[in-house]
């Protein structure tokens, strides 16, 4: 299964935070044999454009927030 996981945290103050929980989920999904792509929206200048691009290129079966 192709899984797209989104990190929707956009807070940059006092500093951006790595989505550690998301990384744990990615590892578990990959170990289970799934193809996983992530999109960290914290650094996105245009959320809709970035989301559309990754959906067109990766064509996920499911999307998790």
Rounded average pLDDT over 51-63? 97
**What pLDDT was estimated at residue 58?**
97
Rounded average pLDDT over 9-28? 83
In whole angstroms, what is the distance from residue 4 CA to residue 37 CA? 5
In whole angstroms, what is the distance from residue 5 CA to residue 34 CA? 12
**What pLDDT was estimated at residue 12?**
67
pTM of the shown model: 0.85
Tens of pLDDT, residue by residue over 21-53, are 999 999 999 999 999 999 998 888 999 999 999
Rounded average pLDDT over 4-31? 87
Q: Are 1 and 58 in contact (CB under 8 A)?
A: no
**What pLDDT was estimated at residue 17?**
78
What tokens were used for 58? 């990766």
How is residue 33 annotated by DSSP?
T
């Amino acid at each position: 299964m192709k899984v797209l996981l989104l990190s929707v945290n956009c807070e940059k103050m006092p500093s951006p935070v790595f989505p550690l929980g998301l990384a744990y989920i990615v590892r578990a999904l990959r170990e289970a044999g799934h193809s996983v792509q992530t999109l960290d929206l914290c650094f996105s200048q245009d959320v809709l454009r970035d989301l559309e691009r990754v959906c067109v290129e990766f064509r996920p079966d499911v999307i998790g927030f």
